[in-house]
A and B are shown apart, each in its own frame.
Chain A
Amino acid sequence: MVGWFAELGLADRPQVGGKGGSLGELARAGIAVPPGFVVKTAAFERFLEAAENEAPVRALIESVDPDSLADVTALSRQLRARVEAAPLPQDLAGAIERAYGKLNESHQAAVAVRSSATTEDAADASFAGLQDTYLWVQSLEQTLDKVRSCWGSLYSVESITYRRRHQFAERDVAMAVVVQTMVDARTAGVMFTRSPLTGDRSVMAIEGSWGLGSAVVGGEVTPDRWVIGKITGEISVREISDKQIRHVPLNEGGIQSVAVDESQRQIPCMSDVELEALRIVGRKVERHYGRPQDIEWAVDRHSGAILLLQSRPETVWSSREAAPVGRPAEDPSLHVLKIFGGFTR
């Protein structure tokens, strides 16, 4: 019911969801990710089975009218309350407790608890953003709570509506949960292993800002931006912005937004050496998957290590690949007519 990242890969997605499979795949490929484990869908099935024994869950969803917001809202409220209040089966709680203990032997206590739905991040039906993530969770008790909250997020208004609109069979829908050491990020951000502007596969675009990556992903800060030659490492664009806020962990769990110190606001949040290291990692990930990636990364405040939090296939440009730029010619000299022949360049 629980699997460590190093034991998992993309092929395990039906059991560990998109996020869990991706983190496992990265870890296996030798990419540094914050260590953690996945509470597999089997655990969710086991939990839901117990719940269904008390009162129906899936049948209620399949019969709700997705166009009636009132009905969906009422159902969502009811199911989430049930999921969050239901006790975990003993064997399941034990398994999570053991894994959590092991994670804490070598690492600090704070973890991120992330939903990882089985169909999430799949190209055909993106659930991305519809499930909850809980950052900076401080204790085993909280962790167990947040695992149930993640399961519960499967019954959010948006999630239910989305599934009904797309007519997914409820029995095919399951939720895995990633429990992962939190990175106390000095700097964090995103990286596209192709240009978001032109689709150029020979450059990478990196955006980053001080603190946790949630400030960048959530659009709460204008990040620094670089464009780097994927192969040459040449930095062709450097836009250092005025980074006014950063996200930091709260002692009691969760995160908060604080003002960036005046002296730090307009200096680059990444050194050239770090950008180069990030380029190498990005290239490795892209090569591993054989296609451009959309990556979330962070620099550990204490160790300075660059860690990947997530990597997904880039979808915008990949879905509209252009016509081939050229074809071999019978006589290679014919190519020069592009220049000499009076065609518009």
Chain B
Amino acid sequence: MEPLVQFFYILLPFLRDWPEWLALTVIGIVAALLMFGFVAIFALFAIWLERKVSAHMQDRIGPMEVGGWHGWAQTIADTIKLLVKEDIVPENADRILFKLAPAIVFTAALAGFAVLPWTQDFIPADLNVGLLYILSVSSFAVIGILMGGWASNNKWSLYGAMRSASQMVSYEIPVALALLAVVMNAGTLSMRHLVMAQSGNILDWNVFNFFPLTAVAFIIYFVASLAEVNRTPFDLPEGESELVGGFHTEYSGMRFAFFFLGEYANMYVVSAIATTVFLGGWLPPFEFLSFIPGPIWFVGKAMTMVFIQMWLRWTLPRLRVDQLMYTCWKVLTPFSFAIILLIGLWKVI
């Protein structure tokens, strides 16, 4: 029985009386809506946080007015503004692809949430190939971005989309290889079992396993995941001093909002993967801290990673295209291959 289904059966006993397909559908949709709610709240919070973090790094104070306390409602106000903004589709654009693109980007990001293990008992879909699934789903965002950039019929968008596509597919190799290093040890692809294999204290987390090999794998994963979600120093697809707005130059209103939401959701997804695979997921670092519930640990660790992403964004310049490709193919990829072979050797000997 799936952990999620059990969770809901305990929570809402009357579901047991329903036909199974109906119960499963209702549970799935409720879980998806829950995740959407989380994404929305996370994005609202993260955008506000990013503005605050950047402001304080830049000797400013950031939004202070809306909502009273430190401008906490600023992003809500911005969202409402985006909702009432005109939806412009440029002439000569490929209308169907143009409208489809944000939906694909956002849906791919939301689908990634399906396998995140919040705690031992709450994981929307405990796939036995969870890690592989989340890798493949996150590549869907490339298609959305490519579609959006192509359909806009704008040269800047096309450049942004092309760069984004080449960047995201290239960096998928180091990401997958770095995660592979951990899978070799854990012997499972299920997100839940990956975390359970790390139980114990902080030294049992995968990042400290086979020290320093997995630690290097973690760094490779983190760097490559920055490129996967188009964050600085890899924000070339939307580098505004070069490509104006990159692939979303022509988007406005709610469609732009969904690109934005997708970007922040993806930030969380890659951080959550790092948390699950390397940082012990919902597990506390020490035994005596286990009174704090798992989801808090999970979200806390992921938010720390998100914060580091923001931190890097405001302290690093952007790379150039050739340097970007160099970093991926000539630095990260060979190193991740070496790590896999070394871990294999270590385990065999």
Chain A partners chain B? no
| Chain B contact residues, CB within 8 Å of chain A | none
